[in-house]
Amino acid sequence: MTEPADGWLERDGVSLHYVEWTGPEEGTRAEAPVLLLHGLSSNARYWDRVARRLEGRRVVALDQRGHGLTGRSPHAPNPESGYTMGQLIEDAVFASGELGLDKPVVVGHSWGATIALELVGTRSEFASALVFIDGPIQSAANMFSWEEAQRMMQPPLPRFARLEDAMAESQRDFTGAWDTDLEPFVRTRVVQDGSAFVLTLTAPMRLELLRGLYDSQPDVLWPRVEVPAAALLARGGPAVISSWKERGAALLAKQAPRVEIRWFDTPHDIPLFAPTGVAAEIERVSSAAAASPGS
């Protein structure tokens, strides 16, 4: 697979950046394209490892609002009106239409998994399949209040004296998965602020996005998913989160038994720690979609 190419799309005054990987056999195979949606404080280059394992497919990852190159001035929308769940879904639909991604396999990680579920659960004809990676599989509002959610999900954002410090923090965060191929992801994750480096996603933007995450209702959306779907969940992490996932997985099995649940013995960032396994799940649900009646 070639090196990823950068591209830009204009929607309602917002410049949306995306990254595209095109396999060497472009136009010769019938597999569905893949649309990748990253998590909070991440960006499209997060998906490098997974994309490179999807040989022969057209793969596009979007820098979502407030993130990556989309989040940098002058491209970022007004934080008071531009970060709703509806806007995020419309961005994904618009990008897919402009790029000719017909019935893509929609793949989301963490916060991006919530957006992927909202997209597939509310637009039944949009996608051919869904891969939901370690997002909240049950409604956060059923577990804690918005005030509690803000304390849990809105920690102080880091400020780095040097780019090398941002790299070092990522090396610690991804211990066991770090290699130099993640450096483009880290560089795109931060922006210079005076003499320091900060995350592209600011606190006001993050709070608005978290509100959309908190208000999402996975319990309602899962039964509406009509395409082949898989929920990939990480066993690693704090015990309270693992317990919450296990309860959510049990509920999901009852609510939407057609959704296949796969557990990975990794931390939260499954695409970085087990990219081959994630790519295999994308291929599997895509094959199931191609074999389904009416595909």
What per-residue confidence (pLDDT) applies to 22? Answer: 81
Is residue 243 assigned to a domain?
Answer: yes
Is residue 55 assigned to a domain?
Answer: yes
The mean predicted confidence, pLDDT, of the chain is 92
Q: In CATH, what number is assigned to the domain containing residue 214? A: 3.40.50.1820
How far apart (Å, rounded) are the C-alpha atoms in residues 32 and 66?
28
What per-residue confidence (pLDDT) applies to 80? Answer: 65
Is residue 75 assigned to a domain?
Answer: yes
Q: How confident is the model at residue 28 (pLDDT cuts 50, 70, 90)?
A: very low
Q: What is the pLDDT of residues 252-266, one digit of tens each?
A: 999 999 999 999 999
Are 3 and 26 spatial neighbours (Cβ–Cβ below 8 Å)? no
From the list 177, 204, 209, the residue with the least C-alpha distance to 277 is 177
- Which amino acid type is present at position 268? H
3 state SS of 34: strand
Q: How confident is the model at residue 124 (pLDDT cuts 50, 70, 90)?
A: confident
Q: What is the pLDDT of residues 87-99, one digit of tens each?
A: 999 999 999 999 9
What per-residue confidence (pLDDT) applies to 294? Answer: 59
Is residue 147 assigned to a domain?
Answer: no
User: Could you tell me the pTM of the whole model?
Assistant: 0.95
Q: How far from each other are the two terminal CA atoms of the chain, in whole angstroms?
A: 27
Which range of residues forms the domain containing residue 264?
Answer: 5-140+203-291
Query: Read out DSSP for 225-286?
Result: --S-EEEEEE--S-HHHHHHHHHHHHHHHHH-TTSEEEEESS-S-HHHH-HHHHHHHHHHHH
What is the tally of structural domains in the chain? 1
How far apart (Å, rounded) are the C-alpha atoms in residues 161 and 155?
19
Is residue 34 assigned to a domain?
Answer: yes
What per-residue confidence (pLDDT) applies to 1? Answer: 58
Of the CA atoms within 13 Å of residue 144, those in its CB half-sphere come to 14
What per-residue confidence (pLDDT) applies to 295? Answer: 55
Q: In whole angstroms, what separates CA 54 from the centre of its chain? A: 17
Are 212 and 83 spatial neighbours (Cβ–Cβ below 8 Å)? yes
Phi, psi of 209 (to 5 degrees): -65, -40
What per-residue confidence (pLDDT) applies to 166? Answer: 97
Phi, psi of 223 (to 5 degrees): -65, -15
Could you tell me the maximum CA-CA distance found in the chain, to the nearest angstrom?
A: 58
Comparing 18-32, 130-144, 156-170, the range with the smallest average pLDDT is 18-32
Is residue 219 assigned to a domain?
Answer: yes
Give the orientation angle of helix 203-215 with respect to helix 85-99, to 10 degrees. 90
